[in-house]
Amino acid sequence: MNITRHGDPCPLCRTPLLVDVYQVRSSESAFVQREVLNARRCPGCQTTRPEQWSEAMRARYKDD
């Protein structure tokens, strides 16, 4: 199931980032077995300054 939660502050505007996460649960229990991070988003910055945004994300999360 896909959920969205708040993550670290945005490096550009300090608003908490929206983090899209896919949670894998086993059928017999409600426990989350695994999480896959799909995306980090800041709707404001992605709209108003997309280039700065991708730069900041690259600099901050090199391993993604």
**Interface positions with Zn ion (CB under 5 A):** 10, 12-13, 42, 45
**Which lies closer to Zn ion via its Cβ, residue 26 or residue 52?**
52
Cβ pair 23, 32 in contact under 8 A: yes
Spatial contact of 35 and 23, defined as CB atoms under 8 Å apart: yes
Nearer to Zn ion, 21 or 49 (CB): 49
**Distance in angstroms between the alpha carbons of the first and the last residue of the chain:** 21
Q: Whose Cβ is closer to Zn ion: residue 42's or residue 57's?
A: 42
Instruction: In angstroms, give the least distance from the CB of 56 to Zn ion.
Output: 8
- Which residue type is seen at 43? P
